[in-house]
Amino acid sequence: MKKILFTLLTLTVFTLSSWAEDGHRLWLPAQKSQTAHVSTNAQSATIDLAKQELTDYFAGTKATLLIDPALTDDEGFTINGNEDSVVVRARRDIGLLYGAYDVLRRQAIQGNMNHVEQHPRFRLRMLNHWDNLDGSIERGYAGESIFEWFHLDEALLHQYARANASIGINGSVLNNVNASPKMLTREYLDEVRKIADLLRPYGIRVYLSINFATPMVLGDTRTADPKNKRVRQWWKRKAKEIYSIIPDFGGFLVKANSEGQPGPGDYHRTHAEGANMLADALAPFNGTVIWRCFVYGANHKGEDRVKQAVSEFKPLDGKFRENVILQTKNGPLDFQPREPYSPVFDQISETPNMAELQITQEYTGQSHHLVYLGPMWNEFFQYVEPEWLAGISGVANIGKDRNWCGHHFSQANWYAFGRLAWDPSLSSEDIAKEWLGQTFSTDENFVYMMSTIMEESRETCVDYMMPLGLHHIFKFDHHYGPEPDGFKAEYPLEWCPVYYHQADANGIGFDRSSKGTDAVSQYREPYASMYDKLETCPENLLLWFHHVPWTYQMKDGSTLWESLQYHYNQGVINVETYHNIWHNKMRHYVDEQRWREVDDRLEDQVQNAREWRDVCLKYFGGFANKKQ
């Protein structure tokens, strides 16, 4: 009896740990193979990792890793061979590690291993963690921060580093852009050093978000004015201290004069003056200042919020030091399910600029909705050329949840971000297929069905939340669910949904045409003219740029109000279909645990999509139906 109980117990433990392992391993190889002999012509901590990965997981007999000084001097690599024997060449040791992961990816999805040559499109491929020092995460939906200050979990951080290296991410900002001044104190910097040491062999440099008023808040200076001599000296000393601890420290990410954060504007100084002070402090150590363009409600208060970044930064273009990079969100508002691209990318030409994408699904159902963001990012790159960008940042969706991202399918967004930061010309569909094959199953039927759902899921989310260019009608503060009637006198108008949809008896939408706020004029041609005219404005952005009568005739002959109803309903029908497919057809492709967890979340998504449709159609119908 005892023996049977014991066997049962161990069996249970085994089953539990194997599913848990599975969720935890992300897209990385599931089973060790240990059949290959791996040789190298050089040695370093990074090459050791590459060697170890191939020794453990390459299922062929032979793998060779070669540093080749004749290759292009970047983090790229070549692969030649087949599933039995491969040669990976790279100029730098990190290229060998990236090459090793590429071999394993190709092995998992039966990809080609001959005549492969890969180079990263962007030099900077970064994650931005919005993690607070107390372990909470702003807009995090997957548990607490993995950066547990003073109790760092090294094993977990190795897994984090490995996952990132496997998709080419090479920078990590460890803390929230709404930064605590304490981040730069010695006790925290000593901890940052430990993380930097751990991430280094994986090719990942560490950056920190800083609070612009740090010297003043810590009580070392009386002001944070960037023209003040003591303040400038403080930052120089601090930079020296940081680099004495972390010699390859990447630099600072700064949110200044935005949403209540301090900044140079508090002293009537410009963003350039603020950024340049920090740049001067970091320059001797080759550090970079990444200065965010997400500003509103300060110098251009009262102006249409989507115009304020250009108003603020265009006059400063060219006035930044060489080691300053601007960082701009993909759209001009705030990571909505659909936005037009940000015109900052058109208007800033003298200063390097990075795109900031949001991997964490703040406005796309958080960790309760299956929404694959690859198509959104593909769409962004239709308007913004990679050569205009110095790099790409993604607001991370990682936490201490066993499956890292809250929703199993949210892992795909982390994966897709890395793959697109490496090569923005990749199609989201191919990335989805790769990810599914590595994460769940390579079964053709499964990959076909689920990649179709993933590809459609973003448009579906737009449909049940905010179709036809509607935006920011989320519930206040937490942004989960609809609140189209949202208005709070004590909040700035730019936080209130009613300000964004402007529904009234005549119609709906925000007039940003030349007859309205003229936000269209910030765009390059042909977009400026195209967006300006109601007839040429793409219908999926109609209510972003125009206030449109309820009876306006859409291209398919329906009225605007009919079209709005159609989209809301279609969004709900799609999610119901996804749930049905997963529930009835996908069970045997996936382990029970992950199947059930995804199933539960899809059920939530169906409920929430219905809520979106019902609340919005009821509210907007109150205006539209009067008119019909």
Residues that bind ligand GCU (CB under 6 A): 138-139, 177-178, 255, 259, 294, 334, 362
Identify which of residues 79 and 177 has a Cβ nearer to ligand GCU in the complex.
177
Identify which of residues 220 and 259 has a Cβ nearer to ligand GCU in the complex.
259
Nearest by Cα to 355 from 380, 319, 320: 380
Identify which of residues 312 and 362 has a Cβ nearer to ligand GCU in the complex.
362
Shortest distance in whole angstroms from residue 65 CB to ligand GCU: 40
Shortest distance in whole angstroms from residue 301 CB to ligand GCU: 16
Nearest by Cα to 492 from 291, 278, 302, 360: 302
3-state secondary structure 183-234: HHCHHHHHHHHHHHHHHHHHCCEEEEEECCCHHHHCCCCCCCCCCCHHHHHH
Q: Count how many residues are written for the chain.
A: 628
Whole-number Å distance between alpha carbons of 203 and 218: 33
Burial code of 480-516, b = ≥16 C-beta within 10 A, e = fewer? bebbbebeeeeeeebbbbbbbbebeeebbbbbbbeeb
Do 293 and 309 meet the contact criterion of CB atoms below 8 Å apart?
Answer: yes
Shortest distance in whole angstroms from residue 130 CB to ligand GCU: 7
Active-site amino acid positions: 259, 334, 362
CA of residue 548 relative to chain centroid, distance: 32
Identify which of residues 461 and 590 has a Cβ nearer to ligand GCU in the complex.
461
Close Cβ partners of 105 (under 8 Å, ≥ 6 residues apart):
111, 166, 434, 438
| Three-state DSSP class for residue 39 | strand
Shortest distance in whole angstroms from residue 201 CB to ligand GCU: 31
Whole-number Å distance between alpha carbons of 469 and 545: 8
Close Cβ partners of 91 (under 8 Å, ≥ 6 residues apart):
67, 68, 69, 71, 72, 73, 74, 76
Identify which of residues 102 and 362 has a Cβ nearer to ligand GCU in the complex.
362
Cα dist from 270 to 234, 260, 267, 532, whole Å: 20, 16, 9, 31
Shortest distance in whole angstroms from residue 362 CB to ligand GCU: 6
Identify which of residues 138 and 423 has a Cβ nearer to ligand GCU in the complex.
138
Do 359 and 395 meet the contact criterion of CB atoms below 8 Å apart?
Answer: yes
Do 438 and 401 meet the contact criterion of CB atoms below 8 Å apart?
Answer: no
Do 222 and 187 meet the contact criterion of CB atoms below 8 Å apart?
Answer: no
Identify which of residues 138 and 317 has a Cβ nearer to ligand GCU in the complex.
138
Whole-number Å distance between alpha carbons of 170 and 205: 6
